[in-house]
């Protein structure tokens, strides 16, 4: 059935988003692999760049992976010297995570290549269209966060 608001069949938007995700996966994974890092590792380093001092469970939620996957990712990043752990001074049993200087440098080293990939992905869009696409995707992400997690505020 065609959706009267979009003019496309029901389910098309979800299918289109999946096509975009699958289409960017290989070039993205190849790019970060050249830097010796996995997709969960890159995501974790980026989240920690903007939210230093969070727990592994919070990092897992913000990185879209299970806690067990994040524990493995943090172990690998720690062994590579990219992430450090500190005891939470307010909660003795809680461990907080931070990027090391090497972790910050790793994200910075990859940034220009990521920017080029994103630019290539959006070659057919003008600056205003790019900004609108990002705004629209954030709106969709926030709506999905409410659907998935109730009334909790999105990241």
For residue 1, being part of any structural domain is answered with no
For residue 132, being part of any structural domain is answered with no
* Half-sphere exposure of residue 76: CA atoms within 13 angstroms, side-chain side: 15
41 and 78 in contact (C-beta within 8 Å)? no
For residue 142, being part of any structural domain is answered with no
C-alpha 4/C-alpha 82 separation (Å) is 49
For residue 4, being part of any structural domain is answered with no
Specify the CATH number for the domain of residue 91: 1.10.10.10
For residue 70, give its domain range. Answer: 12-121
For residue 51, being part of any structural domain is answered with yes
Owner of token pair 């629209």: 136
Which pLDDT value is given to residue 154? Answer: 47
For residue 5, being part of any structural domain is answered with no
For residue 153, being part of any structural domain is answered with no
Which pLDDT value is given to residue 139? Answer: 94
Per-residue pLDDT tens over the stretch 78-118: 999 999 999 988 887 899 999 999 999 999 999 999 999 99
pLDDT along the chain (155 residues), means of 10: 85 92 95 93 95 94 88 95 93 91 96 94 95 94 81 50
Domains of the chain: total: 1
């Amino acid at each position: 059935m065609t959706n009267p608001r979009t003019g496309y069949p029901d389910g098309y938007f979800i299918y289109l988003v999946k096509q975009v995700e699958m289409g960017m996966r290989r070039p993205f994974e190849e790019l970060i692999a050249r830097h010796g890092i996995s997709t969960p590792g890159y995501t974790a380093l980026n989240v920690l760049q903007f939210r230093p001092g969070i727990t592994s469970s919070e990092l897992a939620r913000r990185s879209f992976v299970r806690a067990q996957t994040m524990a493995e990712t943090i172990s690998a990043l720690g062994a590579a010297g990219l992430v450090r752990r500190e005891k939470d001074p307010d909660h003795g049993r809680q461990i907080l995570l931070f990027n090391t200087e090497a972790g910050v440098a790793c994200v910075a080293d990859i940034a220009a290549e990521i920017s080029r990939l994103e630019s290539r992905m959006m070659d057919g869009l003008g600056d205003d269209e790019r900004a609108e696409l990002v705004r629209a995707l954030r709106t969709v992400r926030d709506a999905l966060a409410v659907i998935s997690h109730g009334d909790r505020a999105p990241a």
